Structure 1
């Protein structure tokens, strides 16, 4: 089905409330992205939509605005459910919704994901929540234990739906959908549109509007380079590229967990500020890794494709693929991590002998044949990528009424640390993270560990 609506270029034209327009302005949103311009009027009009668009297209803000626009803040019951494939993405989606809801009265957004004790989520559910963001497994667990009541649910969002199907969540999605009201609005977002998504769409909504949004102009600023790997060790090849290019930050994608960990260990051994992200890590270690990389206290992230989607890094200088991804859609997601927000990006692919068939398939999307280049040799004066920042973890968070301003106040109270020496701050439910200049890390730890914040003592440690 399709519907013709007048094109809008800015958020004020679609009838959003002043509180949402103010939040958009404070968050730096200006013109709508193509995804927002095409989907938001339909969603605000109550239509079901299926949106096919690449990572970084602005879809989160689109469905967040649609949810918040019709939220009844006086009704403390779940009115919207957003399902995501990973905890990392769920946390980022929840944070985006909170940011857009900051000028509304008392909007409660709750994440329901694995990797954290259920008892904390049970306590939060008992206090009521307007919007739930979670992973299918944990949401279904709460449903089966009768901890969730969807009687007031108005909106169901399936974010990164293709990824959820790839991860085997078909049965969980079917069971969750069956327990939601039939009168709900359905919003489904997917980077690809295989037959499995067509089938899922039919199960969720038979009258959804299908929107296929072309890649945005910012993605055209990505330069792709392909290097012949031959018999060269992949870890050595990655090292030479990083030394030659000297990016501010970089994600190195690997096809296996073992390869990701091996390359990370090699880079660390050579003096690089590098971290691994893969499925063998405990959830708390994954959370800490994400915070360190996004805060700039680690400059290289070596990851399997668990991080290809949902990792919210506004500016990423470079991505390196160690061999072509298992499928071409995943390759597209990898390179789409760089060159965002209008910045230029570099995507490097290391091509081995086993990649020949996939290289020929990939070449179909290029105007000219792909030219494999010889690996660069880094200048002898090049230094390993190291960070000038350290991330500290505090033993308190939102449940302790801790706010970013409280942490800044604690770090600057003796006038020895400047605001310029304090980087990003992230406050979660039970933990808080603050990134400080390496030269000030020892003093920052002393300030937190030897004094009180808001009358309470907290412990801090460097990650």
Structure 2
């Protein structure tokens, strides 16, 4: 039997059965190193990148140790962004689907306070939230953590970068001293060794089990290129970058790609320019309202949008599978961030490509990056392009005005779309059902037919508002 088999862990039968049904055949390195210690109740300090399986590494431990007879808050997972919190909560619900009546609640800023208060009054086993909103609830007395058994800090380095140190300190002060703490970070504290911890982790952890998983994104799965940025006849460097980006998009023609910019303003400018060139591109940055961020991520994940133009802060923590390519308009200001960007592609054994534009003024940063990673990178000229047709997203997204609160399930939507006079099952893509709404991807060529079908027929015995989501 493999030493990475989940069946070798002290997990409840319901969790093991669910893992088997989900196709979780073997543990990833971070799971194999962190889970046994976490299940024993030990504190864990782990370095692990997004996409390494860290959510299951701490999630299975939380679920295995829940007292389902009690409705008190037993576990709290803190995340740097709303998107990551939503993804973690959804992953925990998926892992827990064969356990009876497990309640996972999200507490994030940008969402109305009232509904969160109402949900808290009904109790929850696991809370997943951002530090600011969790601290708000504690300050208002709407949340108590005196029964907490496990605290998880997911992407702790990013939370510190975003200025959440004080909020985290306030939250920790209101948790039991004997709690278990699981801390996951993409970067490792410089003095975090068996003999010493950083000032931040020393106040959180008691004799932690230390896990260090090297970044698995390498040349085996990711083809990386650094292209020389030539201004040509224009003195406008930003215009030159956009022209070069279009050249690379036409050359590689990804079905899905992420374009990284330095600033929020850049994301809007680049996304607008790409859209004007006939591409399906949307900007993701911290100025967006939660509903808009949610819509954009759904559209990108279900292939209704080809390109996501994002800042590092907005994209950190996004766990989106199947990204064909990453395009950096310049080398990241912090060199370690370059690795995070590149790691968005080439996941789960799939091939990916990462392209970075480098001006002459940035050449020294390329040398620094190579020295840091022990690789000698060469600058290449931009490729010649023959096909300049705009990239086309294969799917379109429909939004329904009903969700989980209305007892709507993905099967209901699929059945309504493929019933009499409907579209074929293979023309239906990803379906995501949220609390009060739902999104479904359909083939772009049958979008109008699918929209008419849902407008005409009743769903769950009643008429449901539906619209086509556009850029």
What SS is found at the alignment partner of 2:366? helix
Answer whether contact 1:218 1:341 (CA < 8 A) is retained. no
CA–CA separation in structure 1 for the residues paired with 2:299 and 2:326: 17
CA–CA separation in structure 2 for the residues paired with 1:366 and 1:44: 35
Q: Which residue of structure 1 lines up, in the alignment, with residue 268 of structure 2?
A: 261
User: Which of 253, 275, 281 lines up with 2:282 in the alignment?
Assistant: 275
Residue 58 (structure 1) aligned with residue 65 (structure 2): no
Q: Which residue of structure 1 lines up, in the alignment, with residue 174 of structure 2?
A: 179
CA apart distance, 1:156: 0.4
What SS is found at the alignment partner of 1:456? coil
CA–CA separation in structure 2 for the residues paired with 1:376 and 1:363: 22
Q: 1:7 and 1:38, CA in 2 relative to 1: closer, same or farther beyond 3 A?
A: farther
CA apart distance, 1:307: 3.8
Answer whether contact 1:391 1:433 (CA < 8 A) is retained. yes
What SS is found at the alignment partner of 2:198? helix
Matches within 5 A, 1:141-220: 141-194=136-189, 198-216=198-216, 220=220
CA apart distance, 1:451: 3.1
CA–CA separation in structure 1 for the residues paired with 2:16 and 2:216: 23
Residue 99 (structure 1) aligned with residue 94 (structure 2): yes
User: Which of 339, 348, 353 lines up with 2:346 in the alignment?
Assistant: 339
CA–CA separation in structure 1 for the residues paired with 2:56 and 2:115: 27
Q: Which residue of structure 2 lines up, in the alignment, with residue 3 of structure 1?
A: none
Q: 1:367 and 1:160, CA in 2 relative to 1: closer, same or farther beyond 3 A?
A: closer
Answer whether contact 1:319 1:337 (CA < 8 A) is retained. yes
Answer whether contact 1:277 1:302 (CA < 8 A) is retained. yes
CA apart distance, 1:369: 2.4
Answer whether contact 2:403 2:435 (CA < 8 A) is retained. yes
* Root-mean-square deviation over aligned CA pairs: 1.8
CA apart distance, 1:7: 9.0
CA apart distance, 1:190: 0.3
Residue 313 (structure 1) aligned with residue 328 (structure 2): no
CA–CA separation in structure 2 for the residues paired with 1:361 and 1:265: 32
User: Which of 400, 423, 432 lines up with 2:429 in the alignment?
Assistant: 423
Answer whether contact 1:297 1:389 (CA < 8 A) is retained. yes
CA apart distance, 1:217: 6.8
Q: Which residue of structure 1 lines up, in the alignment, with residue 335 of structure 2?
A: 328
Residue 295 (structure 1) aligned with residue 302 (structure 2): yes
Matches within 5 A, 1:355-394: 355-379=362-386, 381-394=387-400
CA–CA separation in structure 1 for the residues paired with 2:357 and 2:455: 46
CA apart distance, 1:291: 0.5
What SS is found at the alignment partner of 2:203? helix
Deviation string 1:166-211 (CA, Å, 9 cap, x unpaired) is 1100111000111111111100000012459822211211322221
User: Which of 78, 85, 89 lines up with 2:80 in the alignment?
Assistant: 85
CA–CA separation in structure 2 for the residues paired with 1:125 and 1:353: 55
Residue 9 (structure 1) aligned with residue 4 (structure 2): yes
CA–CA separation in structure 2 for the residues paired with 1:38 and 1:442: 50
Q: Which residue of structure 2 lines up, in the alignment, with residue 461 of structure 1?
A: 467
| Unaligned runs of at least 5 residues, structure 1 | 1-5
CA–CA separation in structure 2 for the residues paired with 1:318 and 1:212: 27
Answer whether contact 2:227 2:358 (CA < 8 A) is retained. yes
CA apart distance, 1:435: 0.8
- Equivalent residue pairs, number: 457
CA apart distance, 1:218: 6.8
TM-score, reference length from structure 1 = 0.95
Q: Which residue of structure 1 lines up, in the alignment, with residue 122 of structure 2?
A: 127
Matches within 5 A, 1:66-81: 66-81=61-76
More displaced stretch, 90-99 vs 426-435: 426-435
Q: Which residue of structure 1 lines up, in the alignment, with residue 234 of structure 2?
A: none
TM-score, reference length from structure 2 = 0.93
Residue 452 (structure 1) aligned with residue 447 (structure 2): no
User: Which of 396, 408, 412 lines up with 1:406 in the alignment?
Assistant: 412
Q: 1:420 and 1:7, CA in 2 relative to 1: closer, same or farther beyond 3 A?
A: closer
